[in-house]
Chain A
Amino acid sequence: MTTNAPPVPSKKPFLSTLVFLLVPVLLLAGVIALFVFTKGAGLNVIPAAPIETLQFERTILRPGQIELHLRNTSPQEITIAQININDAIWPYTISPGNTIARLGTAVLKHPQWPVRRQLQERIADRAGIQRTYWDRAKQRGTGYLRLFEPGTSLSEAFQRESGQELIANRHRTCACSGRSGETAGRRRSPEIVGKKISG
């Protein structure tokens, strides 16, 4: 069935259109006014202390050594004074130097990796503020990282202490992401240990 009735033009009153046009503009103006009259809702407050962030971009675990690749992404330079691993102060070396410029990088090495279940790092800088990072996997309750001294039977020690399945898949994948890791993954897989990461 068809009809020949002409289409009825829709009625859109000018006032209604104007309201729909002005509402968002007025809302935006209100937000701007609020921002201005509340002095930026606190954005103008200068922080009491600089926000310091040190990114751990890469961690390489070697037998007897941990190597941290650091980047300073905070607004000003950071100087590393001492390091704390699992509540102990350990010697370290850092290159090119202790002071990392803004957006600069440095490589920090511990000459020995302590045998602990938890991986915790604290880095105290000259401002006397300690920074802490935890193994993210540990925080999720999914795993932790370990490295034993050369000569230790890694798989046996790991299983004895943790009672966990020894797998290398996850970390072998990690190891394969780097050139030296490829070698490690192929030749030294028994030394690549870690609790199964399920998350």
Chain B
Amino acid sequence: MSTKKPIDDKTIRHVAKLSRISLTDEEIDLYRRQIADVLEYINKLNELDTAKTPPTSHPLDSLRNVFRKDSAGKSLAAEDALRNAPRTKGDFFSVPGIIE
């Protein structure tokens, strides 16, 4: 892990945009400081030489090849699928216009 320069406002803005969250200037400053604190603490991991260590992405190492058989089962009725929708039109979810 290289020592990176401390996280700046520009990065927070960029990350917020990637996350679809908008922040006020005060929030950008607050989060920057708080996240910088956490990142600095996290830099502790630099003390460890992990070059030869394999990564763990699943705690159950031995679990492999979990499949389901290919057969069509029951689906939800459209009305159940749409029940929580803020806005629908007929059997479609309706959202603001998207221009492609």
Bind each other: no
